[in-house]
Every structure is written in C-alpha cells, then in structure tokens.
Amino acid sequence: MHAAIRAAAEGLTALSADFRELLVDGAEAAGGLEREVESEPANVDLTQRELQVLQLLAQGASNKAIARRLEITPHTAKFHVASIVAKLGATGRTDAVAKAMRLGLVMI
C-alpha cells in the first residue's frame, strides 16, 4: 500500500485526479509523505473534441486512425494533437498522454 501511495504522489497512477489527490493528501497528513511531483498546469482547459482525441492518443492511435475514428481529416487530427501537446506543456504526444494520466484526464 505504501508503494501505491508513493506512486500516486509521484503521479504514476491511472487513478482519477480526485481520488489520487484524496489518497496522497491523506497519506501526507498521516505520515508526512514527501511529494516530488513535477510542475504541471493546474487547470488544463481541453475541449470535448480534444478529450476524445486524447483518449485515442492514450490508446496509441495514429493521427490517421484518430481521423478515421472521429470522422475528421488527418490534418484536423494533427491540429488537435498539437493543441493538446501545447495545452499540457508536453514535449510530444507520448509526454502529453503521460501528463494527462497524472492529471486524471485519461484512464488506460
């Protein structure tokens, strides 16, 4: 259990953001768990379509696969991916998914 709480404190879980915060805050209060979470945007304002694209990114979909699934052009899918990466302050699509997981935006 301690390892799970430490992983949650470091943002390494697939828990929802609310549950993760509850778990980590409770552990900090009980035992002084040190937090070493990297700085991430506190409030990421993704559109509904960007959240759909993000979920497909988390599943490993390419821009072409995203476009087919959402019935949009590959150019539009690429635009949405770039917007997600920028809003999350990520270095690329993989980093965007990792940050989104830490923020509880996607569950895999």
pLDDT, residue 86, reads 95
Compare 94 and 33 and report the one with higher pLDDT.
94
The region that residue 37 occupies, defined by phi over 0 for left and psi between -120 and 50 for alpha, beta otherwise, is: beta
pTM for this entry: 0.64
Alpha-carbon Rg of the chain, whole angstroms? Answer: 15
Instruction: Give the residue range(s) of CATH 1.10.10.10 domains in the chain.
Output: 48-103
Q: Binning pLDDT at 50, 70 and 90, where does residue 107 land?
A: confident
As a CATH number, domain 48-103 is 1.10.10.10
Residue 61 reports pLDDT greater than 60: yes
